[in-house]
Structure 1
Amino acid sequence: MADQHAPALARRPSSALPAQASPCDTLAIHAQPLGLGPPCRRKKLVLAATILGSSMAFIDSSVVNVALPSIQTELGASVAAIQWVVNAYLLFLGALVLVGGSLGDTLGRRTVFIAGIGVFTLASIGCGLAPDARALIAARAVQGIGAALLVPSSLAIIGAVFDDKERGRAIGTWAGVGAITSALGPVAGGWLVDAFSWRAIFFLNVPVACATIALAIIAVPDNRRKDDPSGPAAALNGHAPPRLDWRGAVTATAGLAGLTYGLTIAAARGFGDHRVLALIVAGVLVLAGFVALEAKSPNPMMPLDVFRSRNFASANLVTLLLYFGLGGALFFLPFTLIRAYGYSATEAGAALLPVPVTIGVLSRFTGGLTGRYGARVLLGIGPAIAALGFAMLALPWVGGEYWRGFFPALVVLGLGMTITVAPLTTTVMTSVSAARTGVASGINNAVARVASLLAIAVLGIVFVWSHDAALDARLDALHVPDAARQTARLAQTGLTQTGSDAGSVPSGVTQSASHAEVTQAQTEALGAALRAVALVSAVCALAGGVLAAVTIRSQHGP
């Protein structure tokens, strides 16, 4: 039987999740077993520690987007390198988050939580000190490993410390503070970039991490005791501790890395390049091997039997499509605002506020709609509204005019996400037995992360090719010779500097066209590239809504 409390849980603050959180993060909290032994007496400090820890991971996955133009300028990074500054983080977070949860059960939630924060903080320092793009990407990858440890452990700690009567308020506080930090994070990060440097956004993690570790040591109980079935004395008591699926984790990471890297360099090399083809094919084959390993593993990190539920499989496909569009749009939007339209990093961060603010304001009104109308209806309507928001970003007059162009589109997008998150969580939860909700939520969490990972790679191709085609057309009209225009192409030299940085018009171009005309051509080309990304995102979101309407069934049991 499905969890009998599913309708009640759907009306709790699950739809108020932080903008960068998975739709099933709240469910992961509910799925945790209560802690053994005496109750924790410092629950407020525990909640503070988990909020600080998870907020670091959520903020770092969004704040970096507004710093990318500054990073690209200082480090001279190409478009592929810029994509990997974000993708390296998402790759290891998405591939290892399921193992991170299992590691917390095996070694102790507090231990893994503190270790995750430590790894994340050291990597943040490495990011701040990075001398070049390669060092920054490597440090971001280590950050992703740290986040994969601390995020599931923070959720598990909340679920284990707070009983059924207290969980609702704890989740509301966690989600509310998370929504605020997700909303203000890009603005604060943009201000740090403008006032100091992009490196400051990484060094800011250090004092926050120190406070979090101190709170965790003082207040978070250690679930690894002698009477814990997964504890050190498990063998003496006749219990076998759960084995970690390291083969699955390594295979998933390798497969996603190969596929993503192949797609990333395809923007510059094309799909006819032998290296591109080899990487994509190898990535797909390794991911197929991952599925085969999980099917045979006695302790798989991703049990395949849960996908036998039609609703569960459909809900995860909807998650993949919707978060694919969202991840890609939120990656390229702030970059285009800065490069094409001359926004400062602070202004670009503030420009994204309508999405989390709309989610936070309307979540209380939309949270109870699932019980009233059913998940299927809302999962058809919500993604369709989100698709409309994406499509509005592609309207012809959306070009630097924020209040007439970007603002209404982002409000509509936020409304669509608000309507979607709660029924998506409910569908995942009611598609499996109550004992499997933790596994189900972990898989859905990973799917959301991987969707953003693939989006940046795939939509990067759309962005680069659309930009180059639009720029060629405009330079043709200006009669700019081919030899002079090559250095203006996005795929050749990295992301074009326009807007406030438009002083770098390629040498030789101005012999046949004015500086202002070429600058305008570059600006229009970046705007056209963003519109192409927005249209693809709209198609993906709409496909998710249609898929939900066709495949999601009324659920009375798994």
Structure 2
Amino acid sequence: MDGAATERAVTTTPATRDHSTAIVWILCSAAFMAMLDVFVVNVAFTKIGESYRGSPLADVSWVLNAYAIVYAALLIPAGRFSDRVGRRAGFLTGLGVFTLASVACAAAPTLWALVAFRVLQAVGAAALTPASLGLLLTVLPAARVPGAVKIWATTSSFAAAFGPVVGGALVEASWRWVFLINMPVGVAAGIAALRLVPDLPQRIPVRMPDPLGVLLLVGAIGALSLGLVKSSDWGWTGGATLAALAVAVLGVAAFVARMLRHPNPVVSPALFRVPTFVWANATVLAFCAAFGAWFLSIALWLENVARFGTLATGLAIVPGPLMVPVFAAVSQRLLKRRPVGIVVALGNLLFAGGVVLVLATASTPVHYATEVLPGWLISGVGIGLALPSMIAAAAVDLPPDQSATGSAVVNTARQLGYVLGVGVLVALLGSLDTPATGLLSAFRHGWIFIALVALAATATAFGITPRSRRA
């Protein structure tokens, strides 16, 4: 019996079968917690800035960007780490780091201490995310795997829906509760995982990817983000801005050179010879840049211009994310009659249309029901049609032994898109301490950027229809 068969035999014992539902909830709750943190912090963003007096918007943005940069860069190495030490060990390590870092975030005495602890949070999230999916694939009976993976995949949608409300309610007391709430969830999930999730032996030796390549990727993305978010302070042609952008370009060039020459690169160059994979990554990168900027811009618009409280902002944001799981289901029906590239392009076009509608109707004072809600709902419909389909289609044409790495690359592109979108938005907004009329102009510039990037994603989406008909 080969390794995979042995693993499956282990997972179909009566004891494991009895705990299958609990295992799904344990693993998905941890992944949900890591994603929830992203959306909760968007709502807490303004309060965090107010707590650390004198901190400009560009500095506070690193609470979001530091997390996304490190999470993106470590997803693939963390997946390899879990394969090497054991998926349960990788999951528990990631969960422990994430939980402890969350407590440290809640106690952070300074803004830059908070950013440092967010980096540690990202390390933990990068470890637990691929490990949780890998465990679902190996410790459950074969019949339970498809449903469990669907639940795991939709956790981000529910995190986007519940995150603003949870965050708004917690921030009413203190933004520090946004992080502290992770402690009881993390401890409960860890104890349950130790008791119920099987510790399967590893049968395939896995080499860790090029560590210098990982550092080059982190450095390049960090330099690019720094140049973008500080451009309003340094000037687009200032020496510091140009130096940061130059470091980013050189870092990307060095990363590509290492990828082409290293015997065990972070990403195999062979993946980028598959057209569907390339177009899917380009689309995900552009779409998520638009989405990351869009979500943050609406939260900031409601809190700083409409003068909504944090709980009211969270409740106002909920309707858009609620459209995502509904229209993700609709997209599955559309895919039976139309190529995936057409469905994804339609979703991106609707997303851009929602942004344009807000752009065209926004005014001060803000009228949420007529100026924000319609466009916000339409953009949510577009996200539901586009995002699940483009991510699922990315790995369809890849060889089976490359599909896991390919999926990790797509999720890395997703996180990088968030970093770029937030960086450009912060650069365009400048300071929030300006009159409402000045903020309206700044937000309009941000929404124009978001709409243009979403239209670019519409164009690239046509290239992701795979040759294969595999689901």
- Following superposition, the deviation at residue 37 of structure 1 comes to 4.5
Task: Name the residue aligned to 1:35.
Answer: 7
Q: Is the 8 A contact 2:390 2:464 kept in 1?
A: no
Matched AA of 1:38: V
Matched AA of 2:100: L
Task: Name the residue aligned to 2:225.
Answer: 260
Partner residue of 2:204 out of 220, 229, 248:
229
- Following superposition, the deviation at residue 366 of structure 1 comes to 2.1
Aligned CA distance change for structure 1 residues 453 and 292 (closer, same or farther; 3 Å): same
1:347 and 2:322 are equivalent in the alignment:
no
Matched AA of 1:352: I
Q: Is the 8 A contact 1:354 1:411 kept in 2?
A: yes
Q: Distance in 2 between matches of 1:283 and 1:374?
A: 36
Task: Name the residue aligned to 1:427.
Answer: 393
- Following superposition, the deviation at residue 524 of structure 1 comes to 2.1
Q: Distance in 1 between matches of 2:368 and 2:247?
A: 43
1:183 and 2:161 are equivalent in the alignment:
yes
- Residue 272 of structure 1 aligns to a residue in which SS? coil
1:276 and 2:241 are equivalent in the alignment:
yes
Matched AA of 2:236: F
Q: Which has the larger radius of gyration?
A: 1
Matched AA of 1:105: D
TM-score scaled by structure 2?
A: 0.93
Matched AA of 1:322: F
Q: Distance in 1 between matches of 2:237 and 2:314?
A: 37
Aligned CA distance change for structure 1 residues 460 and 278 (closer, same or farther; 3 Å): same
Partner residue of 2:66 out of 82, 88, 99:
88
1:322 and 2:287 are equivalent in the alignment:
yes
1:103 and 2:78 are equivalent in the alignment:
no
Task: Name the residue aligned to 2:188.
Answer: 211
Q: Is the 8 A contact 2:94 2:127 kept in 1?
A: yes
Partner residue of 1:57 out of 1, 15, 34:
34
- Following superposition, the deviation at residue 363 of structure 1 comes to 2.6
Q: Is the 8 A contact 1:398 1:404 kept in 2?
A: no
Aligned CA distance change for structure 1 residues 223 and 250 (closer, same or farther; 3 Å): farther
1:436 and 2:408 are equivalent in the alignment:
no
Q: Which structure 1 residue ranges, 5 or more long, are not aligned?
A: 1-31, 231-240, 465-489, 497-520
Matched AA of 1:446: T
- Residue 416 of structure 1 aligns to a residue in which SS? helix
Q: Distance in 1 between matches of 2:5 and 2:214?
A: 24
Aligned CA distance change for structure 1 residues 311 and 175 (closer, same or farther; 3 Å): closer
Matched AA of 2:7: G
- Following superposition, the deviation at residue 434 of structure 1 comes to 2.4
Task: Name the residue aligned to 2:461.
Answer: 548
Where do 1:432-511 residues align within 5 Å?
432-464=398-430, 490=431, 495-496=432-433
Q: Distance in 2 between matches of 1:58 and 1:178?
A: 6
Q: Distance in 2 between matches of 1:545 and 1:268?
A: 33
Matched AA of 2:193: A
Partner residue of 1:307 out of 248, 259, 272:
272
1:165 and 2:78 are equivalent in the alignment:
no
1:361 and 2:326 are equivalent in the alignment:
yes
Aligned CA distance change for structure 1 residues 172 and 432 (closer, same or farther; 3 Å): closer
Matched AA of 1:531: R
Q: Is the 8 A contact 2:58 2:427 kept in 1?
A: no
1:407 and 2:382 are equivalent in the alignment:
no
Matched AA of 2:24: L
Structure 1 residues 29-74: Cα deviation after superposition (integer angstroms, max 9, x where no partner): xxx9993551133222221211121111101111011111111111
Q: Which moved more, 1:316-325 or 1:529-538?
A: 529-538
Q: Distance in 1 between matches of 2:119 and 2:379?
A: 30
Structure 1 residues 137-190: Cα deviation after superposition (integer angstroms, max 9, x where no partner): 111111111111111111111111234421222134334555334311211111
Aligned residues: 460
Where do 1:122-137 residues align within 5 Å?
122-137=100-115
Aligned CA distance change for structure 1 residues 556 and 363 (closer, same or farther; 3 Å): closer
Matched AA of 1:300: P
Q: Distance in 2 between matches of 1:415 and 1:345?
A: 24
Aligned CA distance change for structure 1 residues 425 and 371 (closer, same or farther; 3 Å): farther
- Following superposition, the deviation at residue 557 of structure 1 comes to 7.6
The structure carrying a bigger helix percent of its residues is 2
Structure 1 residues 95-150: Cα deviation after superposition (integer angstroms, max 9, x where no partner): 11111111100111111111111111111111111111111111111111111111
Aligned CA distance change for structure 1 residues 69 and 367 (closer, same or farther; 3 Å): same
Structure 1 residues 502-539: Cα deviation after superposition (integer angstroms, max 9, x where no partner): xxxxxxxxxxxxxxxxxxx7112222222221111111
- Taking every aligned residue pair, what percent have the same amino acid on both sides? 27
Partner residue of 1:333 out of 277, 291, 298:
298
Aligned CA distance change for structure 1 residues 396 and 428 (closer, same or farther; 3 Å): same
Aligned CA distance change for structure 1 residues 553 and 128 (closer, same or farther; 3 Å): closer
Task: Name the residue aligned to 1:148.
Answer: 126
Q: Is the 8 A contact 2:223 2:248 kept in 1?
A: yes
Q: Distance in 2 between matches of 1:533 and 1:33?
A: 53
Structure 1 residues 315-349: Cα deviation after superposition (integer angstroms, max 9, x where no partner): 11111111100001112221221111110111111
Q: Is the 8 A contact 2:331 2:389 kept in 1?
A: no
- Following superposition, the deviation at residue 396 of structure 1 comes to 3.4
Q: Distance in 2 between matches of 1:345 and 1:319?
A: 30
1:537 and 2:450 are equivalent in the alignment:
yes
TM-score scaled by structure 1?
A: 0.79
Q: Is the 8 A contact 1:34 1:162 kept in 2?
A: no
- Following superposition, the deviation at residue 426 of structure 1 comes to 4.0
Task: Name the residue aligned to 2:335.
Answer: 370
Where do 1:289-300 residues align within 5 Å?
289-300=254-265
- Following superposition, the deviation at residue 301 of structure 1 comes to 2.0
Q: Distance in 1 between matches of 2:451 and 2:196?
A: 45
Aligned CA distance change for structure 1 residues 68 and 421 (closer, same or farther; 3 Å): closer
- Residue 375 of structure 2 aligns to a residue in which SS? helix
1:67 and 2:67 are equivalent in the alignment:
no
- Residue 359 of structure 2 aligns to a residue in which SS? coil
- Residue 395 of structure 1 aligns to a residue in which SS? helix
Q: Is the 8 A contact 2:284 2:391 kept in 1?
A: no
- Following superposition, the deviation at residue 428 of structure 1 comes to 0.9
Q: Distance in 2 between matches of 1:36 and 1:166?
A: 12
Matched AA of 1:360: P
